[in-house]
Amino acid sequence: MPNDTLPILRLKKNEDRRLRAGHIWIFSNEVDTQATPLTAFESGQAAIIEDAKGHVLGTGYVNPHALICARLVSRDQRYVLDQSLLTHRLNIALALRARLFPEPFYRLVFGDADALPGLVVDRYGDVLVVQITAAGMERVKDEILAALSKVIRPTAIWLRNDSSIRALEGLPSYSEAAFGNVPETVELVEHGLRFEVRLRTGQKTGWFYDQRMNRARLRAYAKGARVLDVFSYLGGFGLNAAAAGAASVMCVDSSAAAVAGITRNAELNGLSDRVTVEQDDAFELLRRLRAERERFDIVVLDPPALIKRKKDIKEGTLAYRRLNQMAMQVLGKDGILVSCSCSYHLARESLRDVLLQASRHVDRFLALIEEGHQAPDHPVHPAIPETAYLKAFIARLLPN
């Protein structure tokens, strides 16, 4: 279909370079608004994107109210974000996951890195959770739902459209069933363990699939160990350690709902005898454990993003350092620390430095054993550094 019916968005001179080098976002100051005023576009409208000389770069969608005022959808101008392109890209995304995972529990779509900017889909067997974060995706919501129905045949879809990013796009915040009966809880399987998850009220889209591989790596260290899982959520790390033979596991989370979930998941897997659960602030609990001279063989730290914006880097980095120091202080002589950060603004090297500084502060010898990343159902777009956000280090701490 030739797209001579689509409106044109023209970039200023040289502003096509980043796109030609692989990026897909366009910022509002890069648009030649004399030639193609942004105000002429409706929120989420499809457009042809051109360079300053009128050469076509591809098709995309426009949001005149957002700083990222357009995203490239295809470099072939014959394609726009309609049901057929959505179906095609969903099938491609599905093919990767089906190859990777034996069971239908995974992130099916990870936005830009699956060529579906502004769309996230998590799969819980026959139930899908969809999160839309861009006006261009919201505009084709019905087509997305139709395409998902065709590709996955789910029994229900929950729209978890309450992310704070939506405000930047001028989109309302809501959470509702798109169709079908969304059960209060669903069960997923990971590394042979069963986890019960609350889709409507759980954190983010219900489960942190991004930590799957790092949880598997923890298993290698767990046999016979006393384990402390801080920021446990539903017990992801802790229960994997228990299943892999840990002598005892203490799971900590400040949320009452999470703590109830850990208890339930420990029961589901017959691990209650070795798992204890504490509802407490991580910093408070670590302080108390140290005062009580408790020692662990393994400590897992998986905090929520402590740096949300660039301007919080300094303060947030200090928080990571304090947390890692406190974790090291409750580690036994030959201890393993699994230290994670999902803050994009904390670079991998900075987390490594945080660990080094913390180890110096507590006067321990630090060796980095393994590095972890987000799981492969969260692919990275090589031109968009923001898509690589999860870091994990497995470190050994010895006496100096």
Of 59 and 232, the one with the shorter C-beta distance to ligand SAH is: 232
Q: Is 232 in the site for ligand SAH (CB under 6 A)?
A: yes
Given the rule CB under 6 A, which of 126-134, 181-189, 231-239, 331-339 is the region that contacts ligand SAH?
231-239
Give 79 or 283: the residue with its C-beta nearer to ligand SAH: 283
Distances (CA, A) of 383 to 19, 23, 83: 9, 5, 26
Shortest distance, position 59 Cβ to ligand SAH, whole Å? 37
Please count the residues of the chain.
Answer: 400
The contact mask relative to ligand SAH for 250-289 (x = CB under 6 A, - = no) is ---xxx--x----------------------xx-------
| Euclidean distance between CA atoms 248 and 108, whole angstroms | 34
The least distance separating ligand SAH from the CB of residue 340, rounded to whole angstroms, comes to 8
* Helix then strand then coil, % of the chain, to nearest 5: 35, 30, 35
Q: Which two tokens stand for residue 156?
A: 């229900």
Inter-CA distances, 308 with 46, 102, 301, Å: 30, 34, 18
**What are the beta bridge partners of residue 251?**
229, 277
Closest chain position to ligand SAH (CB): 236
Q: Which residue, 233 or 320, has its beta carbon nearer to ligand SAH?
A: 233
Residues 23 and 21: their CA atoms lie apart, in Å, by 6
Place of tokens 């949320």: 255
Number of residues that bind ligand SAH (CB under 6 A): 16
Site for ligand SAH in 346-365 (CB under 6 A): none
From start to end of the chain, where are the E strands? 8-10, 25-27, 45-50, 56-62, 68-74, 105-110, 119-124, 127-132, 156-161, 174-179, 185-190, 193-198, 226-230, 248-253, 275-279, 296-301, 331-341, 364-373, 391-399
Instruction: Return the number of the residue (77 or 214) whose C-beta is nearest ligand SAH.
Output: 214
Closer residue to ligand SAH in complex, CB, 15/187:
187
| Contact with ligand SAH (CB under 6 A) among 25, 41, 124, 208 | 208
Which CB atom, from 110 or from 231, has the smaller least distance to ligand SAH?
231
Q: Catalytic residue at 251?
A: no
Does residue 233 interact with ligand SAH by CB under 6 A? yes
- Shortest Cβ 257–ligand SAH spacing (Å): 8
Please spell the DSSP secondary structure of 148-184, one letter per residue: HHHHH--SEEEEEE--THHHHTTPPPEEEEEES---S
Among 111, 202, 236, 316, binds ligand SAH (CB under 6 A): 236
Give the integer Cα–Cα distance in Å for 310 and 346: 9
**374 sits near ligand SAH (criterion: CB under 6 A):** no
* Active site residue ranges: 342
Q: Which residues bind ligand SAH (CB under 6 A)?
A: 203, 208, 211, 231-233, 236-237, 253-255, 258, 281-282, 302, 304
